[in-house]
């Protein structure tokens, strides 16, 4: 074998249904190792990159359409890791289908199953999300009929808090090659988490991993399901935005937790809504207190900036509690103008740990089962608490493919 372009043309003829989703690399022995993906939302080049690792074997050649999201961070930025096959001539001594797929070096936080099951409530989370999304401002509640809506709107905040708690749990594993700073959840109308993802480096951003995980489990669909809600802890970047926009059904809502002050974060502002703009901000607890003899928070480190107006509560039988707006406080810990994803410090880890403590506290509290607001909140918290307890970052940070 010689010319790679000619070889790609022959592969395209042999795989007409997946003709534009071929990728491969030339190994040290001059052999072209290639892979064809059967799914538009699972690029062959992702598989190849995950098998060979980042920048260890030179470029990955592909015939993906040129406006594909994967080019965003794999080409042009000080490197040229992904090359469109017609742009660069290359030849190889032989060719071989990539074998041993699963020996990938890049890891993705992936769900191992469908989760504990749907809410007992008859759904309605999507409609609640849609009405909030479209209102562009917090909804005012009047009369008793609104109690269930109010519960569903509160529930949306719990999903975002669960995403932050997931980050806090990941940070605790201290996986050095994982940033663990962006999490994304895909949630259906009944509140079931269908997929989730956490940053695992390079182009494997939280939202991208969430989508790759979903489509890996559902290889015969073109979009994720209708009537779903995406929760992203940070404004999606250009790459993730492009992937999300291409993979989402018309009936879907995207909520953003924290604003990315970096240039990469602007793209996602166009179609996602900040959850704290349409509901009350998520607040987390910082002062040491115990609940059922379990420590659920601890004092913030000395020198922490006070951000926003903390809410101070004193309850019977409990210590004084200070609650801080989560997103605002996280932003304060970041350097001005830099991409949030590029920096995570001790303070951010502490905030995420506190967010996790807050989430676990909320999950553990007993609530009335009155059929309205309290019932919805109780069910969501019960579900999320089981879900997050089932996530084991170290065993879930498994190899791709
Ligand atoms: Zn991204």
Separation of 238 CA from ligand 1 center, angstroms?
6
Q: Are 8 and 91 in contact (CB under 8 A)?
A: no
Domain ranges of the chain: 4-97, 107-280+346-399
* Cα 20 to averaged position of ligand 1 atoms, centre (Å): 23
Spacing, Cα 266 to ligand 1 middle (Å): 11
**Cα 346 to middle of ligand 1, angstroms:** 22
333 Ramachandran zone, left/alpha/beta (phi>0; psi -120 to 50): alpha
122-166, pLDDT tens digit by residue? 678 999 999 999 987 777 777 666 678 888 888 898 899 888 888
Sorting pLDDT into bands at 50, 70 and 90, what band is 105?
A: very low
Distance between CA atoms of residues 305 and 78, nearest Å: 36
For residue 188, the CA-to-ligand 1 centroid distance in Å is 22
The answer regarding whether domain 107-280+346-399 maps to CATH 3.40.140.10 reads yes
Whole-number pLDDT of residue 342: 47
Mean pLDDT to the nearest integer, 298-323: 60
Does the structure show a pLDDT above 90 at 62?
yes
Ordered DSSP codes for 203-237: TB-HHHHHHHHHHHH-TT-SSPPSSEEEEEEE---
Q: Calculate how far, in angstroms, residue 237's C-alpha sits from the geometric centre of ligand 1.
A: 4
pLDDT of the residue at 399: 44
> CA-based diameter of the chain, in Å?
79
Q: Give the distance (Å) from ligand 1 centre to CA of residue 33.
A: 28
Does 12 have pLDDT greater than 90? yes
Distance CA 139, CA 233 (A): 22
Higher pLDDT, 155 or 181: 155
Distance 333 CA to ligand 1 centre (A): 20
Distance CA 128, CA 61 (A): 45
Question: What is the Å distance from ligand 1's center to 86 Cα?
Answer: 27
Q: How far is the CA of 207 from the centre of ligand 1 (A)?
A: 6
Global pTM value: 0.85
């Amino acid at each position: 074998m010689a010319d790679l372009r000619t070889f790609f043309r022959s592969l395209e003829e042999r795989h007409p249904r997946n003709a534009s989703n071929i990728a491969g690399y030339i190994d040290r022995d001059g052999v072209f190792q290639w892979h064809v993906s059967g799914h538009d939302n699972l690029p062959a080049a992702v598989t190849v990159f995950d098998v060979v690792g980042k920048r260890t074997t030179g470029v990955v050649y592909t015939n993906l359409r040129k406006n594909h999201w994967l080019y965003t961070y794999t080409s042009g930025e000080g490197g040229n890791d992904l090359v469109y096959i017609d742009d660069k001539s290359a030849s190889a001594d032989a060719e071989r289908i990539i074998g041993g797929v699963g020996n990938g070096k890049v890891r993705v936080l992936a769900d191992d199953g469908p989760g504990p099951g749907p809410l007992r409530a008859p759904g309605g989370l999507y409609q609640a999300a849609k009405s909030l999304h479209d209102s562009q401002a917090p909804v005012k509640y009047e009369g008793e009929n609104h109690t269930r809506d109010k519960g569903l709107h509160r529930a949306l905040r719990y999903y975002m808090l669960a995403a932050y708690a997931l980050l806090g749990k990941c940070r605790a594993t201290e996986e050095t090659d994982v940033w663990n700073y962006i999490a994304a959840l895909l949630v259906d109308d009944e509140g079931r988490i269908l997929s989730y993802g956490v940053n695992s480096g390079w182009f494997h951003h939280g939202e991208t991993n969430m989508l790759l995980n979903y489509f890996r489990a559902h290889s015969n669909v073109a979009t994720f399901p209708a009537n779903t809600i995406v929760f992203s802890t940070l404004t999606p970047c250009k790459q993730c935005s492009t992937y999300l926009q291409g993979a989402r059904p018309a009936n879907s809502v995207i909520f953003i937790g924290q604003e990315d002050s970096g240039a990469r974060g602007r793209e996602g502002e166009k179609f996602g809504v900040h959850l704290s703009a349409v509901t009350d901000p998520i607040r987390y607890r910082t002062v040491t207190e115990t609940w059922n003899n379990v420590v659920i928070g601890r004092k913030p480190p000395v020198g922490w900036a006070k951000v926003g107006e903390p809410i101070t509560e004193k309850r019977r039988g409990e210590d004084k509690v200070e609650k801080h707006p989560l997103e605002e406080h996280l932003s304060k810990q970041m350097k001005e103008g830099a991409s949030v994803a590029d920096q995570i410090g001790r303070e951010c880890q502490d905030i995420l740990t506190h967010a996790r403590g807050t989430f676990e506290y909320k999950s553990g509290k007993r609530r009335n089962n009155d059929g309205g607001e309290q019932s919805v909140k109780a069910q969501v918290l019960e579900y999320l608490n089981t879900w997050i307890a089932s996530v084991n970052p170290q065993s879930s940070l498994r190899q791709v493919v």
